[in-house]
Amino acid sequence: MPEPLLNPVSLSDLNESHPSSMEELRPVFLMQQLMMFEAAEHALMRVIAALFCLCP
């Protein structure tokens, strides 16, 4: 059975050993948040459009 690539590490251990790693991950996290927000916004627009189509 192959070993997992990343061992589970708590955030405190991560901050103590690699103080810059959280800063490096931040842009990726923000991009993921933005993509999730855009997807949610798109879904909401479709729901609103569907409601307007149903209402005469």
pLDDT average, residue stretch 15-37: 76
Percent share of the chain, pLDDT over 70:
57
* Cβ–Cβ < 8 Å for 22, 29: no
* Cβ–Cβ < 8 Å for 15, 22: yes
Residue 15 neighbours by CB under 8 Å, 6+ apart: 22
* pTM for the model: 0.45
d(CA 41, CA 37): 6
Enumerate helices (H) and strands (E) in the chain, giving the number of each: 2, 0
* Cβ–Cβ < 8 Å for 26, 33: no
